Amino acid sequence: MTRRADGELLGAVRTIIRLARVAGQVCEEGGLTLAQYRALHSADRGDQRAYELAQYAAVSRPAISALTNGMVKSGLIERVSLAADGRGVLFSITDTGRRTLRSVEDELVARFKKVLGDSTAALAMLNDEALVAAIDIQADKDFGTSVAGRRARS
């Protein structure tokens, strides 16, 4: 890749990082951190073990306890014991969590339409199956296995 192409790619990456700041602000206005948003989105796709939420939320396993405890306390998710394994616990999204997630997602769409105007088509191109799969593969490498597997099941 040429230096100019690298510069263009770096510019695009910087734009994505700035857009993440907008997303983070919307989440905070809706009462969530980005990690909580990611965890809720994951739980909305089906009950999850703590380590699965940690992988999808991109937080360390030790940090997931604080994340899940706070979300349980806020009524966004609930603990569900596994019948087959009395020690196992799944986290399930609650109705409050689902309403919060939908509200934040509605505001995300509205804010990005406002910020991007006619450029929303460029962002919509990121919702490409191959691109999403590549990101999931990298997340598996960075945070552990099963992110791509959960995506395939949902």
Taking only the tens place, the pLDDT of each residue in 102-154 is: 999 999 999 999 999 888 888 888 888 888 888 878 877 876 654 444 444 44
Helix axes 50-57, 34-44, angle to 10 degrees: 130
User: Containing H/E element for 33?
Assistant: none
Among 37-41, 80-84, 132-136, the range of highest mean pLDDT = 37-41
Q: What is the percentage of the chain residues whose pLDDT exceeds 90?
A: 47
What pTM, to 2 d.p., does this model score? 0.81
pLDDT for 148: 47
At 23, the pLDDT band (50, 70, 90 cuts) reads very high
Q: What is the mean pLDDT of residues 38-56?
A: 89
What domains can you pick out in the chain, each with its CATH number?
Answer: 3-144 (1.10.10.10)
Region 9-31: mean pLDDT is 94
The arithmetic mean of pLDDT across residues 58-81, rounded, is 90
Residue 54 CA to residue 48 CA, distance in Å, equals 10
3-state secondary structure 86-132: CCCEEEEECHHHHHHHHHHHHHHHHHHHHHHHHHHHHHHCCCCHHHH
**Average pLDDT over every residue of 79-89:** 76
- Mean pLDDT, the chain, as a whole number? 86
